[in-house]
């Protein structure tokens, strides 16, 4: 099973949550900082229809 999206090459939800848990654990262990930036692409369907797999 793929862990990344073929078009965007970003982690799928399950892989993302696993990686997030790992990084939060590492942050706690190393007493360091963590920053997470998320964004939403409005009308992504248009992008997917234009650039997605055919």
- Domain residue spans in the chain? 13-51
Mean pLDDT of the 33-38 span: 90
pLDDT tens per residue, range 39-52: 887 887 887 788 87
pLDDT of residue 1: 75
Helix residue spans in 1-54 (DSSP H): 13-30, 44-51
pLDDT of residue 18: 96
Cα–Cα distance between 50 and 29 in angstroms, integer?
44
Tokens found for residue 51: 């650039």
pLDDT tens per residue, range 10-33: 899 999 999 999 999 999 999 999
């Amino acid at each position: 099973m793929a862990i990344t999206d073929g078009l965007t090459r970003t982690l799928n939800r399950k892989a993302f949550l696993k990686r997030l848990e790992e990084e939060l654990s590492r942050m706690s262990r190393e007493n360091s900082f963590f920053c997470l930036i998320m964004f939403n692409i409005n009308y992504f369907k248009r992008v997917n229809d234009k650039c997605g797999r055919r």
